[in-house]
Protein backbone atom coordinates (compact mmCIF):
# COMPACT_ATOMS: atom_id res chain seq x y z
CA UNK A 1 0.00 0.00 0.00
CA UNK A 2 1.22 3.49 -0.83
CA UNK A 3 2.39 5.15 2.39
CA UNK A 4 1.68 8.66 3.59
CA UNK A 5 4.73 10.88 3.53
CA UNK A 6 6.34 12.85 6.36
CA UNK A 7 8.32 15.81 5.03
CA UNK A 8 10.57 18.05 7.12
CA UNK A 9 11.14 21.52 5.68
CA UNK A 10 14.47 23.31 6.02
CA UNK A 11 14.63 27.07 5.62
CA UNK A 12 17.75 28.22 3.79
CA UNK A 13 19.45 31.61 3.84
CA UNK A 14 22.71 32.24 1.97
CA UNK A 15 23.12 28.52 1.46
CA UNK A 16 22.72 27.68 5.14
CA UNK A 17 19.81 26.64 7.30
CA UNK A 18 18.16 29.15 9.57
CA UNK A 19 16.13 28.69 12.79
CA UNK A 20 17.82 27.14 15.72
CA UNK A 21 18.32 23.49 15.12
CA UNK A 22 19.80 21.55 17.97
CA UNK A 23 20.68 18.07 16.92
CA UNK A 24 23.39 16.75 19.16
CA UNK A 25 24.86 14.85 16.22
CA UNK A 26 25.23 18.05 14.27
CA UNK A 27 28.71 19.45 13.93
CA UNK A 28 27.63 22.62 12.12
CA UNK A 29 24.19 23.93 13.02
CA UNK A 30 23.79 25.71 9.70
CA UNK A 31 24.87 22.89 7.43
CA UNK A 32 21.82 22.06 5.34
CA UNK A 33 23.30 18.92 3.85
CA UNK A 34 24.18 17.46 7.22
CA UNK A 35 20.74 18.26 8.63
CA UNK A 36 19.00 16.82 5.62
CA UNK A 37 21.06 13.65 5.91
CA UNK A 38 20.08 13.25 9.57
CA UNK A 39 16.41 13.58 8.68
CA UNK A 40 16.84 11.05 5.88
CA UNK A 41 18.48 8.61 8.29
CA UNK A 42 15.63 9.12 10.75
CA UNK A 43 13.08 8.12 8.15
CA UNK A 44 11.93 11.35 6.53
CA UNK A 45 10.20 10.38 3.28
CA UNK A 46 11.19 13.51 1.39
CA UNK A 47 12.82 16.83 2.18
CA UNK A 48 11.95 20.38 1.23
CA UNK A 49 14.61 23.09 1.10
CA UNK A 50 13.10 26.53 1.02
CA UNK A 51 15.33 29.47 0.14
CA UNK A 52 13.84 32.29 2.18
CA UNK A 53 16.17 34.99 0.82
CA UNK A 54 15.72 33.96 -2.78
CA UNK A 55 17.63 36.83 -4.34
CA UNK A 56 19.37 36.71 -7.68
CA UNK A 57 22.77 36.83 -5.96
CA UNK A 58 21.87 33.79 -3.94
CA UNK A 59 20.86 31.66 -6.94
CA UNK A 60 24.35 30.30 -7.49
CA UNK A 61 24.70 29.47 -3.82
CA UNK A 62 21.40 27.63 -3.94
CA UNK A 63 22.37 25.62 -7.02
CA UNK A 64 25.63 24.70 -5.32
CA UNK A 65 23.73 23.64 -2.21
CA UNK A 66 21.39 21.50 -4.31
CA UNK A 67 24.38 19.83 -5.94
CA UNK A 68 25.80 18.95 -2.52
CA UNK A 69 22.48 17.72 -1.19
CA UNK A 70 22.01 15.51 -4.24
CA UNK A 71 25.47 14.02 -3.84
CA UNK A 72 24.89 13.02 -0.27
CA UNK A 73 21.19 12.42 0.26
CA UNK A 74 19.43 9.43 -1.22
CA UNK A 75 15.76 10.36 -0.79
CA UNK A 76 13.72 12.72 -2.97
CA UNK A 77 13.95 16.42 -2.25
CA UNK A 78 12.19 19.57 -3.41
CA UNK A 79 13.70 23.04 -3.68
CA UNK A 80 11.68 26.22 -3.52
CA UNK A 81 12.01 29.96 -3.05
CA UNK A 82 12.14 32.66 -5.69
CA UNK A 83 11.90 30.32 -8.68
CA UNK A 84 10.42 32.35 -11.52
CA UNK A 85 11.61 30.93 -14.83
CA UNK A 86 12.12 27.76 -16.82
CA UNK A 87 15.87 28.47 -16.62
CA UNK A 88 15.75 28.49 -12.81
CA UNK A 89 14.02 25.11 -12.85
CA UNK A 90 16.45 23.70 -15.36
CA UNK A 91 19.46 24.75 -13.27
CA UNK A 92 18.05 23.23 -10.08
CA UNK A 93 16.95 19.96 -11.69
CA UNK A 94 20.29 19.59 -13.45
CA UNK A 95 22.00 20.10 -10.11
CA UNK A 96 20.05 17.10 -8.82
CA UNK A 97 16.81 18.41 -7.28
CA UNK A 98 13.95 15.95 -7.79
CA UNK A 99 11.21 18.56 -7.69
CA UNK A 100 10.96 22.30 -7.55
CA UNK A 101 8.30 24.35 -5.83
CA UNK A 102 6.89 27.63 -7.09
CA UNK A 103 4.44 29.97 -5.44
CA UNK A 104 4.29 33.73 -6.16
CA UNK A 105 5.57 33.37 -9.71
CA UNK A 106 2.75 30.91 -10.47
CA UNK A 107 0.18 33.47 -9.34
CA UNK A 108 1.81 36.29 -11.30
CA UNK A 109 2.18 34.19 -14.42
CA UNK A 110 0.11 31.00 -14.36
CA UNK A 111 1.33 29.93 -17.86
CA UNK A 112 4.67 29.23 -16.21
CA UNK A 113 3.16 26.07 -14.75
CA UNK A 114 2.14 24.82 -18.22
CA UNK A 115 5.60 25.59 -19.59
CA UNK A 116 7.42 23.92 -16.73
CA UNK A 117 5.19 20.84 -16.78
CA UNK A 118 5.60 20.46 -20.52
CA UNK A 119 9.35 20.80 -20.41
CA UNK A 120 10.20 18.84 -17.27
CA UNK A 121 7.15 16.68 -16.55
CA UNK A 122 4.40 17.33 -14.02
CA UNK A 123 5.97 14.99 -11.48
CA UNK A 124 8.67 17.53 -10.62
CA UNK A 125 6.49 20.65 -10.47
CA UNK A 126 5.11 21.36 -7.00
CA UNK A 127 3.00 24.47 -6.61
CA UNK A 128 2.77 25.97 -3.15
CA UNK A 129 -0.35 27.81 -2.02
CA UNK A 130 -0.41 30.10 1.00
CA UNK A 131 -4.04 30.39 1.99
CA UNK A 132 -5.95 32.46 4.54
CA UNK A 133 -9.48 32.05 5.80
CA UNK A 134 -11.42 35.29 5.24
CA UNK A 135 -14.54 34.07 6.98
CA UNK A 136 -16.69 33.56 3.91
CA UNK A 137 -13.93 32.31 1.63
CA UNK A 138 -10.32 31.16 1.46
CA UNK A 139 -7.92 33.49 -0.34
CA UNK A 140 -4.49 32.94 -1.85
CA UNK A 141 -1.60 35.06 -0.55
CA UNK A 142 1.72 35.66 -2.32
CA UNK A 143 5.15 37.04 -1.44
CA UNK A 144 5.69 34.77 1.53
CA UNK A 145 2.23 35.45 2.90
CA UNK A 146 2.55 39.23 2.78
CA UNK A 147 0.28 40.09 -0.16
CA UNK A 148 -3.36 39.08 -0.46
CA UNK A 149 -4.83 38.31 -3.88
CA UNK A 150 -8.44 37.97 -4.92
CA UNK A 151 -7.97 34.36 -5.94
CA UNK A 152 -10.14 31.79 -4.19
CA UNK A 153 -7.95 28.96 -2.93
CA UNK A 154 -10.11 26.01 -4.01
CA UNK A 155 -10.44 27.41 -7.54
CA UNK A 156 -6.72 28.08 -7.73
CA UNK A 157 -5.99 24.48 -6.71
CA UNK A 158 -8.19 23.24 -9.56
CA UNK A 159 -6.48 25.51 -12.02
CA UNK A 160 -3.05 24.30 -10.91
CA UNK A 161 -4.03 20.72 -11.61
CA UNK A 162 -5.45 21.69 -15.01
CA UNK A 163 -2.23 23.49 -15.91
CA UNK A 164 -0.10 20.47 -15.09
CA UNK A 165 1.13 20.91 -11.53
CA UNK A 166 2.25 17.56 -10.14
CA UNK A 167 1.58 18.26 -6.51
CA UNK A 168 0.14 20.98 -4.27
CA UNK A 169 1.80 22.17 -1.10
CA UNK A 170 -1.02 23.77 0.85
CA UNK A 171 -0.02 26.03 3.75
CA UNK A 172 -2.75 27.43 5.92
CA UNK A 173 -1.56 30.80 7.21
CA UNK A 174 -4.23 30.66 9.91
CA UNK A 175 -2.76 27.44 11.29
CA UNK A 176 0.93 28.02 10.58
CA UNK A 177 2.86 28.56 13.80
CA UNK A 178 -0.13 27.86 16.06
CA UNK A 179 0.75 24.22 16.79
CA UNK A 180 -3.00 23.68 17.06
CA UNK A 181 -3.33 21.27 14.15
CA UNK A 182 -3.50 21.38 10.35
CA UNK A 183 -6.31 22.95 8.31
CA UNK A 184 -8.04 19.60 7.91
CA UNK A 185 -11.30 20.80 6.46
CA UNK A 186 -9.81 22.81 3.60
CA UNK A 187 -7.11 20.20 2.95
CA UNK A 188 -9.79 17.52 2.61
CA UNK A 189 -11.91 19.60 0.23
CA UNK A 190 -8.95 20.16 -2.07
CA UNK A 191 -7.35 16.73 -1.76
CA UNK A 192 -10.59 14.84 -2.42
CA UNK A 193 -11.42 16.91 -5.45
CA UNK A 194 -8.04 16.64 -7.15
CA UNK A 195 -6.19 13.70 -8.63
CA UNK A 196 -2.77 15.10 -7.75
CA UNK A 197 -1.27 14.70 -4.27
CA UNK A 198 -1.74 17.37 -1.62
CA UNK A 199 0.93 18.08 0.98
CA UNK A 200 -0.56 19.70 4.07
CA UNK A 201 1.49 22.30 5.88
CA UNK A 202 1.05 24.59 8.86
CA UNK A 203 -0.09 23.87 12.38
CA UNK A 204 1.60 20.63 13.39
CA UNK A 205 1.96 20.59 17.16
CA UNK A 206 1.63 16.96 18.20
CA UNK A 207 1.47 13.47 16.72
CA UNK A 208 -2.30 13.42 16.80
CA UNK A 209 -2.37 16.36 14.42
CA UNK A 210 -0.62 14.26 11.80
CA UNK A 211 -3.12 11.47 12.33
CA UNK A 212 -5.95 13.96 11.84
CA UNK A 213 -4.54 15.47 8.64
CA UNK A 214 -4.08 12.02 7.07
CA UNK A 215 -7.59 10.85 8.03
CA UNK A 216 -9.94 13.82 8.36
CA UNK A 217 -7.75 16.02 6.10
CA UNK A 218 -7.21 13.30 3.45
CA UNK A 219 -3.67 14.62 2.90
CA UNK A 220 -1.15 12.56 0.94
CA UNK A 221 1.80 14.02 2.82
CA UNK A 222 2.39 16.33 5.77
CA UNK A 223 5.11 18.93 6.06
CA UNK A 224 6.47 20.54 9.20
CA UNK A 225 9.54 22.44 10.27
CA UNK A 226 9.97 23.57 13.87
CA UNK A 227 8.58 20.49 15.62
CA UNK A 228 11.24 18.42 13.87
CA UNK A 229 14.02 20.97 14.23
CA UNK A 230 13.49 21.38 17.94
CA UNK A 231 13.03 17.65 18.37
CA UNK A 232 9.62 18.11 19.91
CA UNK A 233 8.55 15.17 17.80
CA UNK A 234 11.28 12.81 16.62
CA UNK A 235 10.46 11.45 13.16
CA UNK A 236 10.84 7.75 14.13
CA UNK A 237 8.39 8.17 17.07
CA UNK A 238 5.93 9.99 14.83
CA UNK A 239 6.04 7.33 12.15
CA UNK A 240 5.68 4.51 14.68
CA UNK A 241 2.74 6.29 16.29
CA UNK A 242 0.98 6.75 12.95
CA UNK A 243 1.73 3.18 11.91
CA UNK A 244 0.26 1.86 15.18
CA UNK A 245 -2.83 3.95 14.54
CA UNK A 246 -3.35 2.41 11.14
CA UNK A 247 -1.85 5.05 8.84
CA UNK A 248 0.29 3.43 6.12
CA UNK A 249 3.88 4.43 6.88
CA UNK A 250 7.32 3.46 5.70
CA UNK A 251 8.62 2.29 9.05
CA UNK A 252 11.55 0.08 8.02
CA UNK A 253 14.36 1.98 6.35
CA UNK B 1 34.47 -2.38 -13.24
CA UNK B 2 33.09 -0.47 -16.18
CA UNK B 3 29.49 0.65 -15.68
CA UNK B 4 27.71 2.47 -18.48
CA UNK B 5 24.52 4.50 -18.18
CA UNK B 6 22.74 4.63 -21.51
CA UNK B 7 22.38 8.23 -22.60
CA UNK B 8 19.12 9.04 -24.34
CA UNK B 9 16.46 11.71 -24.24
CA UNK B 10 14.59 10.32 -21.27
CA UNK B 11 15.82 10.83 -17.86
CA UNK B 12 17.59 12.71 -15.26
CA UNK B 13 20.76 10.73 -14.72
CA UNK B 14 22.14 12.96 -11.95
CA UNK B 15 20.58 10.90 -9.15
CA UNK B 16 21.66 7.56 -10.59
CA UNK B 17 25.21 8.87 -11.07
CA UNK B 18 25.30 10.28 -7.53
CA UNK B 19 24.14 7.00 -6.01
CA UNK B 20 26.67 4.99 -8.01
CA UNK B 21 29.37 7.43 -6.92
CA UNK B 22 28.42 6.81 -3.30
CA UNK B 23 28.93 3.10 -4.00
CA UNK B 24 32.40 3.86 -5.34
CA UNK B 25 31.45 3.44 -9.00
CA UNK B 26 32.11 6.14 -11.55
CA UNK B 27 29.70 5.43 -14.41
CA UNK B 28 30.21 6.43 -18.04
CA UNK B 29 27.26 8.17 -19.69
CA UNK B 30 27.15 7.11 -23.33
CA UNK B 31 25.03 6.38 -26.39
CA UNK B 32 27.98 4.90 -28.30
CA UNK B 33 27.14 1.28 -29.23
CA UNK B 34 30.75 0.12 -28.82
CA UNK B 35 31.06 1.61 -25.35
CA UNK B 36 27.71 0.12 -24.33
CA UNK B 37 28.65 -3.32 -25.71
CA UNK B 38 31.98 -3.21 -23.91
CA UNK B 39 30.52 -2.39 -20.48
CA UNK B 40 30.56 -4.81 -17.52
CA UNK B 41 27.22 -3.46 -16.36
CA UNK B 42 24.63 -1.38 -18.20
CA UNK B 43 22.05 0.87 -16.55
CA UNK B 44 19.04 2.10 -18.48
CA UNK B 45 17.28 4.84 -16.50
CA UNK B 46 14.30 6.80 -17.66
CA UNK B 47 11.83 9.48 -16.80
CA UNK B 48 9.56 10.68 -19.53
CA UNK B 49 7.23 9.44 -22.19
CA UNK B 50 7.43 6.02 -23.87
CA UNK B 51 6.92 6.76 -27.59
CA UNK B 52 9.40 9.66 -27.73
CA UNK B 53 11.97 7.55 -25.89
CA UNK B 54 11.45 4.56 -28.25
CA UNK B 55 11.73 6.79 -31.34
CA UNK B 56 15.00 8.14 -30.05
CA UNK B 57 16.38 4.66 -29.37
CA UNK B 58 15.31 3.39 -32.82
CA UNK B 59 16.79 6.37 -34.65
CA UNK B 60 20.14 5.57 -33.11
CA UNK B 61 19.64 1.79 -33.45
CA UNK B 62 20.11 1.51 -29.72
CA UNK B 63 17.03 -0.73 -29.58
CA UNK B 64 18.90 -3.51 -31.40
CA UNK B 65 22.03 -3.01 -29.34
CA UNK B 66 20.10 -3.26 -26.08
CA UNK B 67 18.21 -6.48 -26.80
CA UNK B 68 21.43 -8.25 -27.82
CA UNK B 69 23.46 -7.30 -24.76
CA UNK B 70 24.79 -10.17 -22.63
CA UNK B 71 26.11 -8.39 -19.53
CA UNK B 72 23.93 -7.55 -16.48
CA UNK B 73 21.50 -4.85 -17.53
CA UNK B 74 19.21 -2.82 -15.27
CA UNK B 75 16.25 -0.75 -16.44
CA UNK B 76 14.83 1.80 -14.04
CA UNK B 77 11.28 3.26 -14.10
CA UNK B 78 10.51 4.13 -17.75
CA UNK B 79 13.50 1.89 -18.52
CA UNK B 80 11.55 -1.10 -17.16
CA UNK B 81 8.48 -0.16 -19.18
CA UNK B 82 10.47 0.19 -22.40
CA UNK B 83 11.89 -3.30 -21.84
CA UNK B 84 8.36 -4.74 -22.05
CA UNK B 85 6.50 -5.68 -25.23
CA UNK B 86 4.00 -2.89 -25.54
CA UNK B 87 2.96 0.26 -23.66
CA UNK B 88 -0.47 1.84 -23.63
CA UNK B 89 1.32 5.18 -23.31
CA UNK B 90 0.78 6.57 -26.80
CA UNK B 91 0.29 3.06 -28.16
CA UNK B 92 4.00 2.24 -28.22
CA UNK B 93 5.76 -0.93 -29.38
CA UNK B 94 8.64 -1.38 -26.97
CA UNK B 95 11.82 -3.51 -26.81
CA UNK B 96 10.04 -6.79 -26.06
CA UNK B 97 12.63 -8.23 -23.67
CA UNK B 98 9.82 -9.08 -21.27
CA UNK B 99 6.69 -10.59 -22.72
CA UNK B 100 4.44 -8.19 -20.81
CA UNK B 101 2.28 -5.16 -21.45
CA UNK B 102 2.45 -1.76 -19.79
CA UNK B 103 -0.98 -0.45 -18.85
CA UNK B 104 -2.33 2.80 -17.50
CA UNK B 105 -3.57 2.77 -13.89
CA UNK B 106 -7.34 3.01 -13.70
CA UNK B 107 -7.93 6.31 -11.88
CA UNK B 108 -9.62 4.79 -8.84
CA UNK B 109 -7.02 6.55 -6.71
CA UNK B 110 -4.74 9.47 -7.53
CA UNK B 111 -2.52 8.89 -10.55
CA UNK B 112 0.52 9.01 -10.74
CA UNK B 113 1.37 6.50 -8.07
CA UNK B 114 3.79 8.73 -6.20
CA UNK B 115 5.61 7.98 -2.98
CA UNK B 116 6.97 5.04 -1.01
CA UNK B 117 5.42 1.63 -1.43
CA UNK B 118 6.28 -1.84 -0.18
CA UNK B 119 7.74 -4.61 -2.29
CA UNK B 120 6.44 -8.14 -1.81
CA UNK B 121 6.98 -11.60 -3.31
CA UNK B 122 10.58 -10.62 -3.98
CA UNK B 123 12.94 -13.26 -5.28
CA UNK B 124 16.50 -13.57 -6.54
CA UNK B 125 19.86 -11.92 -6.20
CA UNK B 126 18.63 -8.33 -6.60
CA UNK B 127 16.76 -8.53 -3.28
CA UNK B 128 19.34 -10.34 -1.20
CA UNK B 129 19.70 -9.10 2.38
CA UNK B 130 17.04 -6.45 2.05
CA UNK B 131 14.82 -5.77 5.08
CA UNK B 132 11.64 -7.85 5.19
CA UNK B 133 9.53 -4.77 4.63
CA UNK B 134 11.41 -3.04 1.82
CA UNK B 135 9.98 0.26 0.63
CA UNK B 136 10.87 1.91 -2.67
CA UNK B 137 10.07 5.39 -4.02
CA UNK B 138 7.78 5.29 -7.07
CA UNK B 139 6.55 7.92 -9.54
CA UNK B 140 4.59 6.45 -12.45
CA UNK B 141 1.21 6.49 -14.18
CA UNK B 142 1.69 3.25 -16.14
CA UNK B 143 2.53 -0.17 -14.70
CA UNK B 144 3.85 -3.52 -15.97
CA UNK B 145 1.55 -6.51 -15.71
CA UNK B 146 2.50 -9.47 -13.58
CA UNK B 147 3.98 -12.47 -15.37
CA UNK B 148 6.55 -15.23 -15.17
CA UNK B 149 9.35 -12.68 -15.30
CA UNK B 150 8.08 -10.81 -12.22
CA UNK B 151 10.59 -10.93 -9.35
CA UNK B 152 8.91 -8.37 -7.09
CA UNK B 153 5.42 -6.98 -6.78
CA UNK B 154 3.90 -3.88 -5.33
CA UNK B 155 0.31 -2.74 -5.13
CA UNK B 156 -1.46 0.45 -6.05
CA UNK B 157 -5.00 0.24 -7.40
CA UNK B 158 -3.92 -3.27 -8.46
CA UNK B 159 -0.86 -5.50 -8.02
CA UNK B 160 1.88 -4.84 -10.57
CA UNK B 161 5.43 -5.87 -11.41
CA UNK B 162 7.79 -3.83 -9.25
CA UNK B 163 10.76 -5.71 -10.72
CA UNK B 164 11.39 -8.09 -13.61
CA UNK B 165 14.16 -10.50 -14.57
CA UNK B 166 15.02 -12.57 -17.61
CA UNK B 167 18.53 -13.88 -18.35
CA UNK B 168 20.90 -10.92 -17.96
CA UNK B 169 18.07 -8.37 -17.98
CA UNK B 170 16.77 -6.83 -14.76
CA UNK B 171 14.31 -4.01 -14.34
CA UNK B 172 12.77 -2.08 -11.51
CA UNK B 173 9.77 0.22 -11.64
CA UNK B 174 10.63 2.39 -8.63
CA UNK B 175 13.64 4.62 -8.19
CA UNK B 176 16.37 2.78 -6.24
CA UNK B 177 18.58 5.85 -6.61
CA UNK B 178 16.03 7.77 -4.51
CA UNK B 179 15.06 5.00 -2.11
CA UNK B 180 17.44 5.51 0.79
CA UNK B 181 19.39 2.56 2.15
CA UNK B 182 17.10 0.00 0.53
CA UNK B 183 17.61 1.46 -2.92
CA UNK B 184 21.33 1.77 -2.47
CA UNK B 185 21.49 -1.86 -1.34
CA UNK B 186 19.50 -2.94 -4.38
CA UNK B 187 21.91 -1.18 -6.73
CA UNK B 188 24.81 -2.70 -4.85
CA UNK B 189 23.28 -6.15 -5.39
CA UNK B 190 23.00 -5.41 -9.10
CA UNK B 191 26.63 -4.31 -9.29
CA UNK B 192 27.65 -7.62 -7.66
CA UNK B 193 25.92 -9.73 -10.34
Q: A11, A88, A176, A220: which is the annotated catalytic residue?
A: A11
Q: Looking at beta carbons, which residues of chain A come within 8 Å of B178?
A: 74-76, 98
Number of helices and strands (H, E) in chain A?
A: 10, 11
Q: What is the ipTM of this complex?
A: 0.94
Closest CA to B157 of B103, B121, B193, B120: B103
Q: Which CATH code, of 3.40.50.2300, 3.30.200.190, 3.40.50.880, 3.40.50.720, is assigned to B3-192?
A: 3.40.50.880
Query: Is B33's Cβ below 8 Å from some Cβ in A?
Result: no
Residue A200 lies in a domain: yes
Span of A45-59, A167-181, A213-227, B164-178 with lowest mean pLDDT: A45-59
* pLDDT tens, position by position, B97-142: 999 999 999 999 999 999 999 999 999 999 999 988 899 999 999 9
Nearest to A1 among B117, B175, B183 (CB): B117
Element (H or E) spanning B152, and its range? strand B150-156
Residue A52 lies in a domain: yes
Number of domains forming the structure of chain A: 1
Residue A31's pLDDT is what?
A: 87
CA closest to A39 among chain B residues:
B180
Distance CA B150, CA A134 (A): 53
Q: Looking at beta carbons, which residues of chain B come within 8 Å of A93?
A: 12
* pLDDT tens, position by position, B69-93: 999 999 999 999 999 999 999 999 9
Task: Decide if B24 contacts B188 (C-beta within 8 A).
Answer: no
Residue A58 lies in a domain: yes
By the 10 Å C-beta count (0-12 exposed, 13-18 middle, 19+ buried), B172 is classed as buried
Residues of B annotated as catalytic are: 77, 175, 177
Q: Looking at beta carbons, which residues of chain B come within 8 Å of A193?
A: none
Residue A225 lies in a domain: yes
CB–CB contact A121 B47 (8 Å): yes
Q: A45, A51, A130, A176: which is the annotated catalytic residue?
A: A130
* pLDDT tens, position by position, A61-92: 899 999 999 999 999 999 999 999 999 999 99
Residue A54 lies in a domain: yes
Closest CA to A223 of A1, A3, A4, A2: A4
Closest CA to A113 of A147, A143, A156: A156
Residue A28's pLDDT is what?
A: 65
Continuous H helices in chain A: 32-42, 59-72, 86-94, 104-108, 111-120, 153-163, 184-193, 207-215, 226-229, 235-244
Contacts of residue B121, Cβ cutoff 8 Å, sequence gap at least 6 = B150, B152, B153
Residue B10's pLDDT band (cuts 50, 70, 90): low
Pairing of strands A5-13, A221-224: parallel
Residue B30's pLDDT band (cuts 50, 70, 90): very high
Closest CA to B118 of B142, B148, B153, B74: B153
Answer yes or no: A11 catalytic. yes
* pLDDT tens, position by position, A6-43: 999 999 888 888 864 444 555 566 889 999 999 999 99
Distance CA A76, CA A69 (A): 10
Query: Is B18's Cβ below 8 Å from some Cβ in A?
Result: yes
Domain that residue A224 falls in = 5-244
CA closest to A198 among chain B residues:
B110
CB–CB contact A121 B48 (8 Å): yes
> How many CB pairs below 8 Å do chains A and B form together?
89
- Encode A106-130: b = buried (16+ Cβ within 10 Å), e = exposed: bbeebebbebbbeebbbbbbbbbbb
Nearest to A74 among B14, B111, B180 (CB): B180
Pairing of strands A47-51, A16-17: unpaired
Distance CA B141, CA B162 (A): 13
Nearest chain B Cα distance for residue A185, angstroms = 19
Residue A20's pLDDT is what?
A: 47
CB–CB contact A250 B22 (8 Å): no
Q: Which residues are A79's β-sheet partners?
A: A49, A100
Residue A25's pLDDT is what?
A: 57
Residue A251 lies in a domain: no
The enclosing domain of A205 has a CATH number of 3.20.20.70
Amino acid sequence: MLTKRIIPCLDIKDGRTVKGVNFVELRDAGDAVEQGAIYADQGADELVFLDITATVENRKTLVELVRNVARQINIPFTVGGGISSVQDVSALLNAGADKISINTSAVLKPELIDEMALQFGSQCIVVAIDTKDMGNKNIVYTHGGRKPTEIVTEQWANELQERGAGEILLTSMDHDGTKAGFANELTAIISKKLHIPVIASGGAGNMGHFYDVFTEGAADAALAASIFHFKEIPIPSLKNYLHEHGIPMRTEL
Amino acid sequence: MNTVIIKYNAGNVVSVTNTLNRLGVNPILSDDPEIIKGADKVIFPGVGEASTAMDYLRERKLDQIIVNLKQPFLGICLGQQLMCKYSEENDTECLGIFDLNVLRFKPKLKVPHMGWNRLFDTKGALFQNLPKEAYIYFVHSYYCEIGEETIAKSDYINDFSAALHKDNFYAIQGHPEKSGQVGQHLLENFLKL
